[in-house]
Amino acid sequence: MHADQFFMLSLPLETHTLTNTLSFPFPERRSVLHFLSPQPSVFLYLPHLKEQEDSLKPNIYLSQGRSEVSLVLGIPTVQRQKESYLVNTVNSLLYDLTPEQKSDIIIIIFVAETDSAFVRSVAEKIHKNFPDDVTSGLIEVISPSPYYYPNLTNLKETFGDSKERVKWRTKQNLDYSFLMLYAQHKGTYYIQMEDDIVAKSGYSESIKAYVQRVIGEQWLYLEFSQLGFIGKLFRASDLPTIVEFFLMFHKDKPIDWLLDHFLWVKVCNPEKDGKHCSDEKARLKRTFKPSLFQHVGLHSSLPGKIQKLKDKDFGKQVLYKAHSNPAALLKSSLIHYQKYSLDSAYMGKGFFWALTPVRGDYILITFTKPQTVKSYLFRSGNIETNGDKFYNTTVEVLPSDVSQVENRLLPCCRPSTDGFAVISSFVNGVAEGVIDTALHELDAMRLLVHSDSDVWVLLSENKQTETIEIHCLAKKKVTCSNISLDHLQL
């Protein structure tokens, strides 16, 4: 099939297995047989694509083929000379998503490189850090065909930019275009991310609520960050037209300038003044405040460039959630850092942040009177310090009737020590569940660490309404930011 015929197809996505599959146990690397957009005009702007029929086939390294979601998040990433922020960015986006929210989102990581070894290393890192989210289809990792990029060595230098900067911004235009056109069939809305951002807690819920507010109005995109192209949300159905405009001028200007020019072309009258133009563009560009995404990367993907941009409307992050918990005596072998004490977290005045946990460390919550706890949630880490988590740590309960544990009469639980029974463990920094009614009243609950950690730990939230919920962070320290007990919250 010739490339221009291939590009004009408008069929559901199909896949086939390549011979050079990955050596690790992921879904095989696959190439999509149908791609991008039905406009054959792309070959006017990128005529080299006609030379290879594979030029528009993305290589898919991680995917379960999820589609028909409400929101698609696109993250382009490249090989950086300095540090990579990608894992932290994905951590931030996933931090407090509920299972329901996760089921209605896709995060597409577009590794904008043709070095298959590097792309494979990124896929391995993502799979290692987010195995459940990869398996569920929430996270995808793709890369472009090696034939996608044109020769970028003979570009015209404009606006005083160096040859390297012109090459960088031109490739970025092509990267964003490829990612957007891959994503267009995946969901209803598409939002552009970068690989060095942090998300505000509750961003998914805020986006959904704002979209519902303006869904019947006329707009081209919604802006959830005022920096560059970060946090720009489009209707997926508009992406082909927008991308065609980007490709038409991909060698001329940076992509955020092109987006502004697209607005100008649509609504500005050259016979009227600048204020009229600005007002007209504002109707098609709705800005949500406070911003939901902040740029955190210091080292740009452009080699040698230091990027200190910050969104002044981002504000402060909510690092813990306060709840009302039952009266209890608190004890821990963990050494808290500065003012971040366990008492403060339990009382809803802050979060608990402690130095590196070692095997045998614990947090003990002894109720002043027996409690019937229906459910619990312990969350470690918070939106800014998401690595400070509990690892290899169990949640244990002490029933008022310890004979149940001693006589192994509880099918739900296995005995621990001192009359405690193990009811669950932390997974990806979170432990939550429902307390088996066979346990009846509880005298205490305990978190018990079973191996030395490399990081601190932070508990950022605990909640008790006969439900227990605790949130923690870790990083050579331990931080707990959320504890909640259907009758116990920290």
pLDDT in tens, 51-89: 988 898 999 999 999 999 999 999 999 997 666 889 889
**In the predicted structure, residue 38 carries a pLDDT above the cut 90:** no
**In the predicted structure, residue 188 carries a pLDDT above the cut 70:** yes
Tell me the two tokens of residue 465: 């309404």
**In the predicted structure, residue 11 carries a pLDDT above the cut 50:** no
pLDDT recorded at residue 20: 35
pLDDT recorded at residue 250: 92
Total residue count of the chain as it appears in this document: 490
d(CA 474, CA 456): 4
Across 176-180, 335-339, 432-436, which has the greatest mean pLDDT?
Answer: 176-180
**In the predicted structure, residue 307 carries a pLDDT above the cut 70:** no
More confident site: 60 or 312: 60
More confident site: 303 or 167: 167
pLDDT recorded at residue 309: 65
**In the predicted structure, residue 23 carries a pLDDT above the cut 90:** no
Tell me the two tokens of residue 230: 């970060």
Question: What is the set of domains in the chain, with CATH numbers?
Answer: 3-286 (3.90.550), 328-489 (2.60.120.260)
**In the predicted structure, residue 297 carries a pLDDT above the cut 60:** no
**In the predicted structure, residue 333 carries a pLDDT above the cut 90:** yes
pLDDT recorded at residue 96: 82
Three-class SS state of 392: coil
Tell me the two tokens of residue 381: 């880490």
Q: What is the CA radius of gyration of the chain?
A: 26
Where b means 16+ CB within 10 Å and e means fewer, 447-460 reads: bbbeeebebbbbbb
In angstroms, how far apart are the furthest CA atoms of the chain? 88
Residue 138: which pLDDT band, with cuts at 50, 70 and 90?
A: very high
Q: Are 416 and 424 in contact (CB under 8 A)?
A: no
**pLDDT tens for each residue of 244-270:** 999 999 999 999 999 999 999 999 999
**In the predicted structure, residue 196 carries a pLDDT above the cut 80:** yes
Rounded to a whole number, what is the distance in angstroms from the first to the last CA of the chain?
62
**In the predicted structure, residue 344 carries a pLDDT above the cut 60:** yes
d(CA 389, CA 460): 10
pLDDT recorded at residue 14: 35
Residue 194 CB partners (closer than 8 Å, separation 6+): 75, 76, 89, 228, 229, 230, 295, 297
Residue 374: which pLDDT band, with cuts at 50, 70 and 90?
A: confident
pLDDT recorded at residue 463: 55
Average pLDDT over residues 34-39: 49
Average pLDDT over residues 271-281: 94
pLDDT recorded at residue 287: 94
The average confidence (pLDDT) of the chain is 83
pLDDT recorded at residue 155: 87
Residue with tokens 């195995």: 131
Residue 490: which pLDDT band, with cuts at 50, 70 and 90?
A: very low
| Chain centroid to CA 442 | 37
Could you tell me the pTM of the whole model? 0.72
**pLDDT tens for each residue of 209-226:** 999 999 999 999 999 998
Residue 440 CB partners (closer than 8 Å, separation 6+): 372, 399, 400, 401
DSSP string, 19-79: SS--SSSSSPPEEESS-S-S-TTHHHH-GGGGG-TTTT--EEEE------EEEEEEEEE--
Tell me the two tokens of residue 44: 């006017």
Q: Are 103 and 143 in contact (CB under 8 A)?
A: no
Q: Are 313 and 226 in contact (CB under 8 A)?
A: yes
